[in-house]
Structure formats: structure tokens, C-alpha cells
């Protein structure tokens, strides 16, 4: 139980338990990505506390969004957003059709 006594695990669980952070996928998405948050999410989904969602599509969408917003210019962000949305994500959705993807 020492692993729960400090760091991000303690903070996340405390925030969720106290209501400071809503118990939603979106609230967990706002936290830094990593194994700890994904494990907490997995436990919450496995226990039925959070609904299931297609994580294999959410992760690329989040990554591409981070990539687009990190671009230095507005014009570059606009071009990257179009490319990501209309080429990469559309192709990925078409290939997956709700099935697992690698």
C-alpha cells in the first residue's frame, strides 16, 4: 500500500474521491499521459465505474491533437489539423471499423 501513499496516484485518487476532479474519461484525459493514469482508468472501467470507450482510437486522436496544437504558427496548425482529420484519422477509423487495431 506504500505505492498509494504519494505522488500522482495519491493525488488522482484523492481528487476523484473528493469530487475535485469529476469521475469521467475527459477529466482523466486532462492528466499527464502515462501508465499510472491508464491503470486507474482501466480499474475504473473494469469495475463499471467508467463506461468503456475505444482507447485505440482515443490515443491517436489525443496524440495528433497535441502535435497540432504544438505547432508554432496558426497556418501550420490549420494544415496539420486538416491532414490529421481528413487523412490519418479517417483512414484509421475506416480500417478499424470498431475492431482492435495495432
Geometric angle at alpha carbon 49, from 43 and 50, rounded to 5° = 85
CA dist 22 → 25, 58, 95 (Å): 9, 19, 33
Give mean pLDDT, residues 1-5. 53
Nearest CA-CA partner of 55 in 39, 67, 68, 69: 39
pLDDT of the residue at 1: 47
Distance from C-alpha of 24 to C-alpha of 50, rounded to nearest angstrom: 7
pLDDT tens digits, 31-61: 888 888 889 999 999 999 999 887 777 778 8
Alpha-carbon torsion (25, 31, 33, 39), positive or negative: negative
Amino acid at each position: 500500500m506504500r505505492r498509494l501513499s504519494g505522488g500522482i496516484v495519491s493525488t488522482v485518487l484523492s481528487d476523484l474521491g473528493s469530487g475535485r476532479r469529476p469521475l469521467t474519461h475527459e477529466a482523466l484525459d486532462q492528466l499527464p499521459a502515462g501508465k499510472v493514469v491508464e491503470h486507474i482508468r482501466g480499474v475504473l472501467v473494469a469495475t463499471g465505474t467508467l463506461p468503456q470507450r475505444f482507447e485505440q482510437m482515443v490515443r491517436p486522436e489525443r496524440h495528433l491533437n497535441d502535435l497540432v496544437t504544438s505547432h508554432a504558427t496558426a497556418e501550420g496548425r490549420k494544415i496539420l489539423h486538416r491532414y490529421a482529420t481528413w487523412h490519418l484519422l479517417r483512414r484509421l477509423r475506416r480500417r478499424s471499423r470498431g475492431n482492435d487495431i495495432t
